[in-house]
Chains A and B, each alone.
Chain A
Amino acid sequence: MSQGKSKDVISITVEFSGGLEMLFSNQRKHILSIPTKDESGEASNVAFLVRYLCEDVMQDNRRELFVLDDTVRPGILVLINDADWQLEGEDKYEIQGGDNIHFLSTLHGG
Chain B
Amino acid sequence: MALSLPIESTIKSLRYQIASCEAQLQDLRHQLADAENRAHWHTIPFESLSHDMIGGVPGDIQTEFLAVLSQNGERRRYAKAWPLEKHEYKRYGRQLIMPEVGLQGQLRLKTSSVLVVGVGGLGCPAAAYLAGAGVGKIGLVDGDTVEESNLHRQILHSTGRVGMTKVESATVSLTQLNPTGEYLAYSSRLTPDTAIEIFQSYDLILDCTDNPASRYLISDTCVLLGKPLVSASALRTEGQLMVLNSPPRPPGDILGGPCYRCIFPKPPPAESVVSCGDGGILGPVVGVMGVLQALEAIKIITRGIQHPDLICHIDIDKPRFQTNNEMPPNPPEPPSLLLFSAYSNPPFRSIRLRSRKSKCASCSAQAIVTREALTSGSLDYVQFCGIVSPVEALSVSERISVDNYARIRTGTNPITGTEARSDSHTLIDVREKVQFDLCNLEGSINIPFSVVSRTSVFVKGNSAKDVGEEEWVTKMRGLPEKKPIFVICRLGNDSQLAVGKMKELGLDCGGRRWVGDVKGGLKAWRDYVDPEFPEY
| A residues whose Cβ falls under 8 Å from a Cβ of B | 2, 17-19, 22-23, 28, 56, 59-62, 64-65, 68, 73-77, 79, 82-84, 86-87, 104-110
- The listed residue with most B CB atoms (<10 A of its CB), out of A17, A76, A107, is A107
List chain B residues, Cβ under 8 A from A82.
Answer: 349-352
Scoring B residues 419 to 458 as 1 if CB is less than 8 Å from chain A, else 0, what string do you get? 0000000000000000000000000000000100111110
Chain A CB within 8 A of B112 CB = no
* Cβ-based interface call for B215 (8 A): yes
Q: Does B139 contact A (CB under 8 A)?
A: no
Partner of B354, one of A17, A84, A109: A84
CB-CB under 8 A for A84 and B352, given A59-B465, A108-B233, A108-B275? yes
Contact stretch, chosen from B32-40, B86-94, B263-271, B402-410: B263-271
Residue B378 lies at the interface, judged by CB distance under 8 Å to chain A: no
B454 near A59 (CB under 8 angstroms)? yes
10 closest A-B pairs by beta carbon, nearest first, are A75-B268, A74-B266, A110-B210, A60-B454, A109-B235, A109-B276, A107-B233, A83-B352, A107-B235, A86-B354
**Is A87 touching B354 in the complex (CB atoms < 8 A)?**
yes
A65 and B274 CA atoms in complex are apart in Å by: 12
Q: How far is the CA of A62 from the CA of B212 in the complex (A)?
A: 22
Query: 9 more A-B contacts (CB under 8 A) besides A17-B339, A108-B210?
Result: A18-B235, A75-B268, A79-B351, A86-B354, A87-B353, A107-B238, A109-B121, A109-B281, A110-B121
Q: Which residues of A contact B208 (CB under 8 A)?
A: 110
Cβ 8 A contact of A110, one of B209, B273, B455: B209
Of all chain A residues, which has the CB nearest B290?
A110
In the complex, which residues of chain A have a beta carbon less than 8 angstroms from the beta carbon of B238? 17-18, 107
Chain A proximity of B457: nearest CB distance (Å): 8
Closest chain B residue, CB of each to CB of A23: B454
Q: Contact at B235–A19, with CB atoms within 8 Å?
A: yes
Interface residues on B, range: 35 or more
Q: Kindly state whether residue B96 has any CB partner on chain A within 8 Å.
A: no
Q: Which residues of A contact B457 (CB under 8 A)?
A: 61
Chain B residues, CB < 8 A from A68? 269
A75's contact among B264, B276, B354, B453, by CB below 8 Å, is which? B264
CB distance A74 to B210 under 8 Å? no
Q: Least Cβ distance of A17 to chain B in Å?
A: 6
Chain A residue at smallest Cβ distance from B343? A28
Min CB–CB distance A35 → chain B (angstroms):
15
**Cα distance A23–B272 in the bound complex, in angstroms:** 12
- Chain A residue contacts of B269, Cβ below 8 A: 64, 68, 73-75
* Complex contacts, B337 vs chain A, CB 8 Å: 77, 84
Knowing A19-B235, A82-B351, A83-B352 are in contact, say whether A106-B120 is a contact too (CB < 8 A): no
B236 touches A19 (CB 8 A): yes
Contact yes or no, B272 A65, CB < 8 A: yes
Asked whether, in the complex, the Cβ of A28 is within 8 Å of the Cβ of B232, the reply is no
B341 within 8 A of A: yes
The chain B residue sitting closest to A29, CB to CB, is: B344
Report the separation of the CA atoms of residues A17 and B240 in the bound assembly, to the nearest whole angstrom: 11
Residues of B within 8 A of A59 (CB): 454, 465
* B350 touching A106, Cβ below 8 Å: no
User: Which interface residue of A23, A61, A108 has the most chain B CB atoms within 10 A?
Assistant: A108
Contact residues of B between 232 and 284, Cβ < 8 Å to A:
232-236, 238-240, 263-269, 272-276, 279, 281
Q: Is the CB of B454 within 8 A of A62?
A: yes
Residue pair A108, B273 in contact (C-beta under 8 Å):
yes
Chain A residue contacts of B265, Cβ below 8 A: 74
Given the complex, which residues of B lie within 8 Å of A62, measured CB to CB? 453-454
Q: Do the beta carbons of B232 and A110 come within 8 Å of each other? A: yes
Q: Which residue of B lies closest to A79 (CB)?
A: B351
In the assembled complex, B134 has its CB within 8 A of some CB on chain A: no
Residues of chain B contacted by A109 (CB below 8 angstroms): 121, 210, 233-235, 274-276, 279, 281, 286
B123 near A: Cβ within 8 Å?
A: yes
Looking at the complex, which one of B121, B122, B239, B455 makes contact with A61 (CB distance below 8 Å)?
Answer: B455
Q: Which of B338-365 contact A (CB under 8 A)?
A: 339, 341, 344, 349-354, 357
Q: Give 13 CB contacts A-B under 8 Å.
A: A17-B341, A60-B454, A61-B455, A64-B269, A76-B268, A77-B263, A82-B350, A84-B354, A87-B354, A106-B268, A107-B235, A108-B212, A109-B279
Q: What residues on B are CB-neighbors of A74 within 8 Å? A: 264-269
Docked complex Cα distance between A75 and B216 (Å): 13
CA–CA, A79 to B353, complex, Å? 9
A65 surroundings in chain B (CB, below 8 A): 272
Complex Cα–Cα for A83 and B456 (A): 35
- Distance from B106 Cβ to chain A, minimum over Cβ atoms (Å): 29
From residue A77, how far is it (CB to closest CB) to chain B in Å? 7
Which residue from chain B places its CB closest to the CB of A82 in the assembled complex?
Answer: B351
